[in-house]
């Protein structure tokens, strides 16, 4: 094998022998492979489309994938949807499901010697070698896409191919010369050209730092190692776009991926770790490599793990794939199973344990079986650490934690373009006012609501989303953060100061302008909300167009100086006290839920001031 070290393989074999749960998992993989072979199933004979199309436009929820029902696409609300785009998106999931099983079966063959698993892998490889040249993923790809061949996008092709290459590497020495020649000529050769063309296009566009590049590098690197092709190995590791260069250009000095989106950060890191493990098996030390400003794969794992909320979940800031039953938790699990073999850092175990709890599945995935310790995760968790604040200057993030079930995070970083949202100067409060995230990108309503300022706990001027701009750090003293947004609205000063004190979050948001404007202070809540003032019933949208049209008003109270809100979130109770230096009107309403549960409406609190200035002060505490 060229993509896995002998040490890892030997450890996996020992774990299988000593841990009944692991051995049972290998047997389950063998059973699935046997079922596939005996039932006469085959790989789809057509290309896959765009995975983001697999969403219900009516209920805003992803379609429930079932590999056995190619023509049936049903959302969690029971709505049945049809169409070629849905069929093509289904094929993406099905192709990936098959190659994931091929990888698992390949590893099972190496660990247990299962001949059934070996035969299954060979069958899948031969089928794809037969069909790859016939695929046409270009015909219905959108103009903006980095084109693939078996799929609309080269990124999707890389995601599909990486486990298939791992599977090939596991059985390569059992193939006949004819079999290997056919697979290399009809599958790996054409795939190499697709990946190299995609890499070259990203370089030519000035985007070598794009998150796509991580998976292109991983695909090229694994093929290079499996085939002992030095040209592909160099492309995957060295300049101008290999992993060494990518770590230096795509990763910020504090080790966050430049988009500062936890999902895409983890997405890039998973590709890097798979490539690093293969590189290690071939004498390339990517595990310990550091880019010029200290960026590293281990540092990336520590950076995002350090942002985990007390329950082990990660902040849902900016764009990200946070839909129900998404691939996010499985990918988190794979990353932190691998990283736990690199370091026993308690933060890794915290994130890993939380992801498994949310998944509610046994610890039997390939990363656990091949890289994980047989020792239960719960036995490796230490005592709860003392709450500490977290500040990441280059990423534009500050986080506060209290000794109660209360924490907060503010964003003030630069405009990143790719997966940016108009959320600068926003304040995310855990656990009852988290960021809404983003549903699958093909949802028509996504662009109309989720990226906009009205969907975040920030300030909106004259009903308009703020400009595509970053924030500006004014001061950080270890507890109080002062940030501004000078380019958000021309001629308007916006400044926010936030700190944690006496187990409370204290927040001040200032708006000043030479002329009169409408200033809307926004706060979104999951849970029951009761204001301290009398509310007059109100109905209708906040605005007739734009993001404001997604907020349906329920009540109003006028000329307030102070108002408090009692919030019941699950079994906990919180209080927010909002004050203004000048009187303000209170509007309350409902808005779309988070991208995880979009049909569960959230309560939105709006403090509205019409004037030249306002100073909103908020105190947030657990009762």
pLDDT digits (tens, 9 = 90+) for 471-483: 999 999 999 999 9
pLDDT computed for residue 317 by the predictor: 87
pLDDT of residue 386: 63
Residue keyed to tokens 């370091």: 343
For residue 31, being part of any structural domain is answered with yes
- The terminus-to-terminus CA distance of the chain in angstroms comes to 58
Q: How far from the centroid of its chain's Cα atoms is residue 201's Cα?
A: 24
pLDDT at 611 over 70: yes
Q: Could you tell me if residue 458 is inside a domain? A: yes
Q: Supply the pLDDT for residue 393.
A: 97
**Block residue for tokens 């209080």:** 575
Query: Any alpha helices (H) in 364-470, and if so which ranges?
Result: 366-371, 377-380, 446-449
Q: Which residues contact residue 546 at a Cβ distance below 8 angstroms, ignoring those fewer than 6 apart? A: 448, 452, 454, 463, 464, 465
Average pLDDT over residues 552-571: 97
Angle between helices 211-227 and 243-250 (to 10 degrees): 170
Q: What percent of the chain has pLDDT over 70?
A: 99
34-56: average pLDDT: 97
DSSP string covering 134-184: G---STT--TTS-B-SSSSBHHHHHHHHHHHHHHHHHHGGGS-HHHHHHHI
Domain residues for 156? Answer: 14-174
Per the CB < 8 A criterion, the answer to whether 621 and 406 are in contact is: yes
| Confidence check: pLDDT of 378 > 90 | no
- The residues near 122 (Cβ < 8 Å, ≥ 6 apart) are 171, 174, 175, 179
How many residues comprise the chain?
Answer: 623
Percent of the chain with pLDDT over 90: 94
Nearest to 415 by CA among 485, 482, 491: 485
Within a domain: residue 259? no
Q: Pull the structure tokens for residue 173.
A: 């020495």
Plot region of 167 (φ>0 → left; ψ -120 to 50 → alpha; else → beta): alpha
Given a cut of 80, whether residue 270 has pLDDT beyond it is yes
Q: In this structure, are residues 137 and 151 in contact, taking their beta carbons and an 8 Å threshold?
A: yes
The pLDDT value given to residue 316: 86
Of 244, 209, 159, 295, the C-alpha closest to 234 is 244
26-35, 318-327, 356-365, 367-376: segment of lowest average pLDDT: 318-327
Which of 148, 174, 200 marks a domain boundary? 174
Q: Judge whether 205 lies within some domain.
A: no
Residues 6+ apart with CB under 8 A from 609: 511, 518, 519, 521, 580, 582, 584, 585
pLDDT exceeds cutoff 60 at 397 = yes
What region does 47 belong to: left with phi over 0, alpha with psi -120 to 50, or beta? beta
User: In this structure, is residue 602 part of a structural domain?
Assistant: yes
Q: What is residue 208's three-state secondary structure?
A: coil
Assess if residue 185 is contained within a domain. no
Residue 309 falls inside a structural domain? no
For the domain that residue 500 is a member of, what is the CATH number? 2.70.98.70
Q: What is the CATH number of the domain that holds 66?
A: 1.50.10.100
Checking if the pLDDT of 438 tops 60, the result is: yes
- State pLDDT tens for residues 59-117: 999 999 999 999 999 999 999 999 999 999 999 999 999 999 999 999 999 999 999 99
pLDDT in tens, 152-203: 999 999 999 999 999 999 999 999 999 999 999 999 999 999 999 999 999 9
Tell me: pLDDT of 384 over 60: no
Instruction: Find the mean pLDDT for residues 429-457.
Output: 95
Domain final residue pick, 174, 198, 219: 174
Residue 220: per-residue pLDDT: 98
CB 32 within 8 A of CB 98: no
CB 85 within 8 Å of CB 49: yes
403-415 per-position pLDDT tens digit: 999 999 999 999 9
Q: What is the mean pLDDT of residues 551-578?
A: 98
The pLDDT assigned to 385 comes to 57
User: Which of 174, 203, 224 is the endpoint of a domain?
Assistant: 174
On average, the pLDDT of the chain sits at: 96
Question: Taking 80 as the threshold, does the pLDDT of residue 324 lie above it?
Answer: no
C-alpha–C-alpha distance, residues 578 and 531, integer Å:
11
Q: What pTM was computed for the model?
A: 0.97
| pLDDT at site 418 | 76
Radius of gyration from C-alpha coordinates of the chain: 26
Q: Return the SS3 of 598.
A: coil
| Per-residue pLDDT at 387 | 75
Q: Is 108 exposed, middle or buried (0-12, 13-18, 19+ CB in 10 A)?
A: buried
DSSP state of 290: -
> Taking the CA of residue 493 as centre, how many other CA atoms within 13 Å lie in the half-sphere pointing to its CB?
10
The pair of structure tokens assigned to 108 is: 């099972």
Confidence grade of residue 382 (pLDDT, cut at 50, 70, 90): low
Q: Residue 493: enclosing H or E segment and its boundaries?
A: strand 493-501
- DSSP codes, 218-236: HHHHHHHHHHT-HHHHHHH
Let me know: does 355 contact 297? Beta carbons within 8 Å: no
Please give the pLDDT value at position 158. Answer: 98
Q: What is the pLDDT of residue 417?
A: 84
Report the candidate in 26, 18, 33 with the shortest Cα–Cα distance to residue 369: 26
Tell me the CA distances in angstroms from 2 to 213, 218, 436, 531, 557, one per residue in order: 22, 14, 42, 63, 68
pLDDT at 325: 79
Q: Is residue 346 part of a domain?
A: no
pLDDT at residue 151 greater than cutoff 70? yes
As for how many domains the chain has, the answer is: 2
The mean pLDDT of 237-243, rounded to a whole number, is 97
CB 278 within 8 A of CB 3: yes
Return the pLDDT at 214: 98
């Amino acid at each position: 094998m060229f993509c896995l070290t002998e040490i890892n393989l030997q450890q996996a074999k020992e774990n299988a022998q000593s841990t009944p749960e692991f051995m049972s998992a290998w047997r389950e993989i063998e059973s699935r492979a046997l079922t596939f072979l005996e039932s006469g199933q085959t790989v789809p004979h057509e290309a896959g489309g765009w995975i983001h199309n697999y969403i219900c436009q009516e209920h805003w929820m992803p379609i429930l994938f079932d590999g056995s029902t190619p023509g049936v696409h049903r959302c969690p609300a029971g709505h049945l949807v049809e169409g070629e785009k849905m069929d093509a998106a289904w094929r993406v999931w099905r192709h990936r499901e098959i190659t994931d099983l091929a990888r698992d079966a390949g590893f099972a063959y190496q660990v247990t010697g299962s001949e059934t698993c070996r035969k299954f892998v060979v069958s899948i490889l031969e089928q794809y070698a037969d069909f790859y040249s016939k695929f046409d993923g270009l015909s219905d790809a959108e103009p903006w896409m980095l084109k693939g061949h078996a799929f609309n996008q080269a990124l999707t092709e890389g995601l599909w191919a990486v486990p298939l290459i791992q599977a090939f590497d596991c059985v390569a020495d059992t193939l006949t010369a004819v079999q290997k020649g056919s697979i290399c000529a009809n599958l790996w050769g054409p795939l190499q050209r697709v990946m190299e063309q995609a890499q070259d296009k990203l370089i030519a566009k000035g985007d070598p730092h794009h998150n796509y590049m991580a998976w292109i590098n991983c695909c090229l690197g694994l093929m290079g190692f499996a085939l002992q092709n030095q040209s592909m190995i160099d492309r995957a590791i060295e300049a101008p776009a290999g992993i060494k260069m990518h770590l230096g250009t795509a990763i910020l000095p504090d080790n966050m991926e430049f988009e500062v989106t936890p999902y895409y950060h983890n997405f890039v890191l998973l590709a890097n770790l798979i490539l690093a493990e293969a590189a290690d098996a071939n004498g390339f030390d990517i595990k310990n490599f550091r880019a010029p400003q200290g960026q590293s794969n281990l540092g990336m794992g520590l950076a995002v793990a350090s942002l985990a909320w007390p329950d082990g979940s990660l902040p849902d800031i900016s764009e990200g794939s946070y839909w129900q039953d998404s691939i996010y938790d499985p990918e988190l699990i794979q990353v932190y199973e691998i990283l736990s073999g690199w370091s026993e850092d308690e933060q890794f175990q915290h994130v890993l344990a939380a992801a498994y709890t949310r998944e509610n599945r046994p610890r039997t995935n390939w990363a656990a079986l091949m890289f994980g310790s047989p020792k239960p995760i719960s036995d490796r968790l230490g005592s709860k650490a003392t709450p500490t604040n977290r500040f990441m200057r280059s990423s534009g993030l500050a986080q506060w934690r209290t000794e109660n079930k209360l924490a907060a995070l503010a964003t003030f970083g630069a405009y990143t373009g790719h997966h940016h949202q108009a959320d600068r100067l926003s304040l995310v409060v855990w656990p009852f006012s988290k960021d809404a995230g983003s549903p699958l990108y093909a949802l028509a309503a996504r662009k109309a609501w989720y990226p906009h300022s009205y969907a975040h706990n920030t300030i909106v001027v004259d009903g308009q989303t703020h400009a595509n701009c970053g924030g500006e750090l004014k001061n950080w003293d270890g507890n109080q953060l002062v940030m501004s947004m000078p380019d958000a609205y021309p001629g308007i000063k916006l400044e926010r100061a936030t700190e944690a004190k006496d187990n409370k979050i204290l927040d001040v948001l200032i708006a000043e302008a030479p002329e009169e404007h409408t200033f809307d202070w926004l706060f979104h809540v999951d849970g029951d909300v009761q204001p301290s003032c009398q509310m007059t019933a109100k109905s209708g949208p906040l605005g007739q167009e734009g993001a404001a049209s997604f907020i349906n008003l329920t009540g109003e109270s006028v000329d307030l100086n102070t108002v408090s809100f009692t919030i019941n979130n699950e079994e906990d109770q919180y209080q927010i006290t909002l004050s203004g230096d000048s009187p303000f009107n209170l509007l309350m309403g409902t808005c779309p839920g988070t991208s995880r549960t979009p049909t569960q409406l959230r309560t939105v609190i709006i403090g509205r001031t019409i004037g030249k200035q306002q100073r909103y002060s908020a105190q947030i505490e657990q009762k």
